[in-house]
Chains A and B, each alone.
Chain A
């Protein structure tokens, strides 16, 4: 495959290859020279229509560690604010010889559209409420790194599933890799089509937690909400937030994940966020190795 648009496009072997490659590349971060010459002379464009610190810097660092040239292009302060369409922006980047475009866009499907317009590789860094495949890959990597396996792992994804691209990508990828996913959310924060997803659904966090090896907390994406989806922050937090007491009801080796940014006191308590069982900073570190692996596998060959 030339592009990485959806976590669902990856077969089990392909996904495992990405994780294995990332595991090898993780060593580069520990060396005195944190750079490989592999993508010398290649150009990677970060095309970000939505705000992002983590994902953009992670992709930038990954590309730079592979010696690629990186151009950061954010919608603010570009021709986009003058009314240029995605297609025209894409063709401009194409004319400049971009070998890969990393795109984040508020519209679901933007990455797919872009893939039809440019010759280079397109990497989906989040499109609307649709998918965020590299986040799912780095989550899977973190789980395998911490718990030693993915096959048969029980993963609970808790929170704003409706607006989450991370949830969808994780469900697709983790299912491919043999894990069992349970989505936990109030009915108002689940997509209508959730019954077609290859996972279980529950409304009761306390029932799911004791039988989960991994719990992934999602942020409530207030910026995407036009209606009110739950009565109050306090009530949401009491029913679906993870605090120390709930964490203690999980198996002893279970881990807590969060794709960031966290809202302490909302979906996760400060006590849990700072506990050694919370992998948030590991996820960020693993994200760089994982994105190096994806860039290498998509751009490194002929």
Chain B
């Protein structure tokens, strides 16, 4: 809980050269609190809401939203994760990827208001894949989308219902979300683009069955939009 201002701090070495923090820990948490309130408002009390995080960083974000909703409304929201790897449209552009976890809460998804949670909304292709995956898992009453950062550049007709921060970016920039649960601290960083995401993708195999867990990837979520 030490991260405070964007000023030089003990946090300083955490921000790699050439990147700057667009959200620090406190701002990130305030944005999540606001989203939690918006979810409750839009779903009229959240009785039917199921939160599904998209791995890897959507999952801890979904859990945090659930905790906030519980605090505000004293309502325990079913929370799970939805891995979309098998539904991606770019599988053949990279070696096979390790799969993330899919955990559907016990009650299932039928007739629930499913709120998908992801860290960065970019091309919209991840969300497209998630919608396809949902179709195979049940029939939700409605599907909504919550993202921490919307960086624009959509390639599909998809928009978010809840946005932590709208961040206008250039295609040459990269957006990195870091979370306490996965990276040891909270921040959203904006930096110069990394070399082609296709080559830096999560451990796959092919041309060498190489192992890697979905969580072992560097703190990049950008390729996944």
Q: Which of A's residues lie within 8 Å of B, judged by CB?
A: 1-2, 10-11, 13-14, 16-18, 20-21, 24-25, 27, 31-33, 35-38, 66, 296-302
Contacts of A25 in B (CB 8 A): 99
Closest residue of chain B to A10 (Cβ to Cβ) is B209
Indicate if B172 sits at the interface (CB-CB under 8 A). no
Closest residue of chain A to B100 (Cβ to Cβ) is A24
Give the interface SS of chain B, mostly helix, strand, loop or mixed: loop
Contacts of B136 in A (CB 8 A): 31-33, 35-36
CB of B98 within 8 A of CB of A20, answer: yes
Contacts of B209 in A (CB 8 A): 1, 10-11, 14, 17-18, 297
The number of chain B residues touching the other chain, given as a range, is 20 to 34
Nearest chain A CB to B67's CB is how many angstroms away? 25
CB of A24 within 8 A of CB of B97, answer: no
Indicate if B156 sits at the interface (CB-CB under 8 A). no
Digitize B89-103: 1 where CB-to-A-CB distance is under 8 Å, 0 elsewhere.
Answer: 001111111111110
Contacts of A302 in B (CB 8 A): 92-95, 206
CB of A297 within 8 A of CB of B137, answer: no
What is the CA–CA distance of A20 and B203 in the complex, to the nearest angstrom?
13
CB of A24 within 8 A of CB of B83, answer: yes
Closest residue of chain B to A34 (Cβ to Cβ) is B136
Indicate if B142 sits at the interface (CB-CB under 8 A). no
CB of A301 within 8 A of CB of B94, answer: yes
Indicate if B197 sits at the interface (CB-CB under 8 A). no
Q: Which of B65-99 contact A (CB under 8 A)?
A: 83, 86-87, 91-99
Nearest chain B CB to A104's CB is how many angstroms away? 22
Indicate if B167 sits at the interface (CB-CB under 8 A). no
Contacts of A299 in B (CB 8 A): 96
What is the CA–CA distance of A14 and B102 in the complex, to the nearest angstrom?
21
CB of B86 within 8 A of CB of A13, answer: no
CB of A38 within 8 A of CB of B95, answer: no
Nearest chain B CB to A41's CB is how many angstroms away? 10
